[in-house]
Structure 1
Amino acid sequence: MTRPACWPPWERLALLGTGTLTMGVGIALLVASRLGMVPMDTVHLAVARASGWTFGVGILVCQAILLASFLPLKLRPGVGTFVGLVIPALTADTVLAVLPPLTNIIVRLAVFAAGGGLFCTGVALYLVASLGPLPRDGLMLVLAGDRGATGKNGRRLALARIGIDSVFVATATLILGPAEAVHTGAVGAGTVVLALISGPLIARLLRRVRRIPALSPSTSGEHPVQARHAAAESS
């Protein structure tokens, strides 16, 4: 399948914006559910609490530190790398500021499920835009041997994600302490679920998003909408 570089810039920017906003909302819902969060976000929360920052600032600082890994890994940051640093952090802080405390376990479970689905969908959308991966996902793609974010080797991508996420959870638990990690909802049964399913789900969503006709370039590099207009004019 051709690379998304054939898509018009506005479509790629739309994917990037939609993806990063969706990620931010998903992250906030997971935090609010207090049933566990995306493994990397356990580190964001741990650093934020230890430093007295908001959750969003914790995201910015941790991801900026990971960005330093791009140089030895020979990864090239793009506009998506920096947008992906800022938009999810701002969105998460904004949503968390307006969400009321959740006490009903049924509501919390529903919010957790919605948050996990939105987060994985957002990751797939911004990766498909191919405007530069987040530091965390750049590392995942390198370990999986999928620098182009094709999603073709779903098994290796999933294993890389699971391995990275396991390290993040262990790090957050060390920073917060086991009791505090569980009390805040940073680490829980939901964290384990997300660590196990986010990799496979993102890999599957990558393939599905690339198959959407409105978003898929033709094999000649011509966008489908342009191809349809050309066919109509020739007839």
Structure 2
Amino acid sequence: MAAIGNLRHRPARRLVQLYGGLVLYGVSMALMIRSGLGLDPWDVFHQGVARQTGLSFGTVTIAVGALVLLLWVPLRQRPGLGTVSNVLVIGLVVDATLALLPDGLPLAVRAALLVVGIGANGAATALYLGARLGPGPRDGLMTGYVARHPGRSVRGVRTVIEVAVLALGWLLGGTVGIGTVAYALAIGPLVQLFLPAFTVDPPPGAATEPRPVAAEPRPIRTEPNQVGAEPVGVPPAEPRPARS
């Protein structure tokens, strides 16, 4: 996978995909927040922290992403361009979109926001993963841990971490609801649906790397501990985005 600066293969398409995916991811998060019907585990946590501290949702997302990225150090994970961009771009876009979306909408409109938000999140995740420019900080943490502990499964580690952040986020006041369940059930199939169209193949003659594969709840990315890759050498995480 590509490290920061290694963009010789199809740089224009990959950069457009990366940042287009991250922007769309941030917009999709804002739509789900405004629906008020439930968020994915990490965003329940982000929302809970935001409500307790008075910080904006986007600011908390950036801060948590940066803190999680520090946990890569003992795992000897190296961030890609997509990793660093994930930490910064999604949080900024979430706050900008929330400022444009009204609150207190009718239930039917909120339900529509949830559906559109989950669908957009699946497409955004596939765009971001398909660019092959690095995992999000949260997914890189999980895949990096599994890479250093072969006896552990990505699914098991992901489940433990996400159940923990979901419970903590709920205790802090984050919104858990039907949207949380809908996201968990839909995100994997949606990412799997969009990935084939958005995955950028490696240049001819390059070492063969598996194409990004989606799995369960949160957006996963592609290949782990390689500069700028998602899961490498580890079974694909069961869906990030990045954001996570």
Q: Given the two structures, how large is their TM-score scaled by the length of structure 1? A: 0.73
Give 2:73's aligned residue. Answer: 71
Decide whether the 8 Å contact of 1:158 with 1:199 is kept in 2. Answer: no
Instruction: Write out per-residue CA displacement over residues 169-221 of structure 1, whole angstroms, 9 at most, x where no aligned residue.
Output: 11202323xxxx4xxxx2112112213332443344334422xxxx5456456
Identity %: 36
Q: 1:197 aligns with which of 186, 194, 199?
A: 186
Instruction: Write out per-residue CA displacement over residues 15-48 of structure 1, whole angstroms, 9 at most, x where no aligned residue.
Output: 1111100100000000000001122111111111
Q: 2:123 aligns with which of 121, 124, 145?
A: 121
Could you tell me how far apart the structure 2 residues matched to 1:133 and 1:157 are? 14
Give 2:236's aligned residue. Answer: none
Give 1:106's aligned residue. Answer: 108
Could you tell me how far apart the structure 2 residues matched to 1:205 and 1:160 are? 25
Give 2:38's aligned residue. Answer: 36
Q: Which has the higher helix share?
A: 1
Could you tell me how far apart the structure 1 residues matched to 2:74 and 2:196 are? 29
Structure 1, unaligned runs of 5 or more: 146-155, 222-235
CA drift of 1:120 comes to 2.3
Q: 1:188 aligns with which of 168, 177, 189?
A: 177
Q: Could you tell me which amino acid in structure 1 is paired with residue 166 of structure 2?
A: V
| Closer/same/farther in 2, CA of residues 157 and 64 from structure 1, 3 Å limit | same
Instruction: Write out per-residue CA displacement over residues 56-110 of structure 1, whole angstroms, 9 at most, x where no aligned residue.
Output: 1010111111111211222111221111111111111011101112422221111
Larger radius of gyration: 1
| Closer/same/farther in 2, CA of residues 18 and 160 from structure 1, 3 Å limit | farther
Decide whether the 8 Å contact of 2:9 with 2:203 is kept in 1. Answer: no
Determine whether 1:173 maps to 2:176: no
Give 1:96's aligned residue. Answer: 98
Give 1:151's aligned residue. Answer: none
Could you tell me how far apart the structure 2 residues matched to 1:72 and 1:218 are? 32
Judge which range, 189-198 or 160-169, deviates more. Answer: 160-169
| Closer/same/farther in 2, CA of residues 18 and 66 from structure 1, 3 Å limit | same
Decide whether the 8 Å contact of 1:39 with 1:195 is kept in 2. Answer: no
Decide whether the 8 Å contact of 2:86 with 2:136 is kept in 1. Answer: yes
Give 1:87's aligned residue. Answer: 89
Judge which range, 28-37 or 167-176, deviates more. Answer: 167-176
Judge which range, 125-134 or 108-117, deviates more. Answer: 125-134
Could you tell me how far apart the structure 1 residues matched to 2:38 and 2:96 are? 20
Q: Could you tell me which amino acid in structure 1 is paired with residue 109 of structure 2?
A: V
| Closer/same/farther in 2, CA of residues 26 and 54 from structure 1, 3 Å limit | same
| Closer/same/farther in 2, CA of residues 128 and 142 from structure 1, 3 Å limit | farther
Could you tell me how far apart the structure 1 residues matched to 2:197 and 2:156 are? 19
| Closer/same/farther in 2, CA of residues 204 and 140 from structure 1, 3 Å limit | farther
Structure 2, unaligned runs of 5 or more: 148-152, 207-244
